[in-house]
Structure formats: C-alpha cells, structure tokens
C-alpha cells in the first residue's frame, strides 16, 4: 500500500476549469444586481437622474434629459439580459464600456474640482466638497469592470440562456 502516491484530483487545472462556469454565474448575477439596483433607483426618479447627468457639466443641455431618462432603462435591460444569461459576452462588453464612461465622468469631475454626487445609484447633483467620494466610486467601478472582464473572457456560465440555446460566442 503506497499512500504517498495518492493524487488529490479535486485541485489543479481540472478543478479550476470546472469552477469557471460557476464563477461566471456569480459574476453574471453580481453585475446584474448592480445594474438592476442602479437602474431601478434612477427609473423611480428620472428627473433626479437627469439632474445627476447635468451636474457633470459635460453634455449640451439638449442631451441631458434624454440621457438621464434613458440611462436607467439601459441599465435595467443589461440587468435582465445578464440574469437570463442571453448575449453574455456582448452585454459584458457593453457593461465594461459604460463603466469606463462612468469612470471618465467621475474622473473629469474630480479633476475639474466639481463637488457632485455621482448619481450612480440614484441621487446625484451638487454636494458639499467634503462629501465627495470620487476615489471610492472609481475603485468600485473598476471592481465592476473586473466582473464584466471575467464574462468577456469566460461567457459560458451555469443556468444561462446562451448555454441552453447553444449560442456560440
């Protein structure tokens, strides 16, 4: 009996490959929760969402309300597609791009010395200068980009319409 020769097959590359779809499921549902919460908070008060867009002071006034009113529904649509797992890689790419736009907006507000609430999860608009949280908001969005990045590289997840429909990426 040679006990030293026993191999633990629960770890290593094979175990990691088996975990990838489960990690993807967690990333997909985590990102969906972010978009659902953000979209819902904005959709319940679209005028406030438009005010948040206005506070960044980068868009012409003619675009502020259309973007402020449409953004919540884009976020809710991304959430719905992620929950069902349909077009996961495309939705992850759109998510990453949108998050980069948000980071750029927060960064330019910070660089310009604006004192605003990002409006990322409702609210938004001018605030006291000591109430800004730009670094935390940027780091949070980078974390969300990591989730989207995982789904870009590993879009096959458990319990997804993509897998059920056998959609090729």
- Model pTM score: 0.87
Give the DSSP letter of residue 126: E
Give residue-wise pLDDT tens across range 54-78. Answer: 999 999 999 999 999 999 999 999 9
85 alpha carbon, distance to own chain's centre? 14
Is residue 122 within 8 Å of residue 42, measured between CB atoms?
yes
Beta strands in 1-160 (DSSP E): 116-117, 125-126
- Computed over every residue of the chain, the mean pLDDT equals 92
Higher pLDDT: 162 or 2? It is 162
What is the model's pLDDT at position 7? 47
* Element holding 125 (H helix, E strand): strand 125-126
Give residue-wise pLDDT tens across range 122-132. Answer: 889 999 999 99
């Amino acid at each position: 009996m040679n006990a030293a020769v026993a191999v633990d097959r629960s770890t290593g590359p094979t175990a990691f490959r088996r975990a990838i779809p489960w990690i993807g499921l967690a990333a997909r549902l985590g990102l969906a929760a972010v978009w659902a919460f953000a979209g819902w908070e904005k959709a319940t008060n679209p005028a406030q969402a438009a005010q948040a867009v206005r506070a960044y002071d980068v868009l012409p006034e003619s675009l502020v309300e259309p973007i402020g009113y449409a953004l919540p529904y884009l976020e809710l649509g991304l959430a719905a597609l992620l929950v069902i797992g349909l077009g996961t890689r495309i939705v992850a790419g759109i998510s990453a791009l949108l998050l980069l736009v948000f980071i750029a907006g927060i960064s330019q507000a910070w660089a310009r010395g604006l004192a605003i609430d990002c409006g990322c999860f409702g609210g938004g608009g001018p605030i006291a200068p000591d109430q800004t949280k730009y670094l935390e908001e940027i780091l949070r969005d980078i974390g969300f980009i990591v989730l989207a990045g995982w789904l870009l590289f590993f879009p096959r997840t458990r319990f997804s319409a993509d897998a059920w429909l056998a959609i090729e990426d």
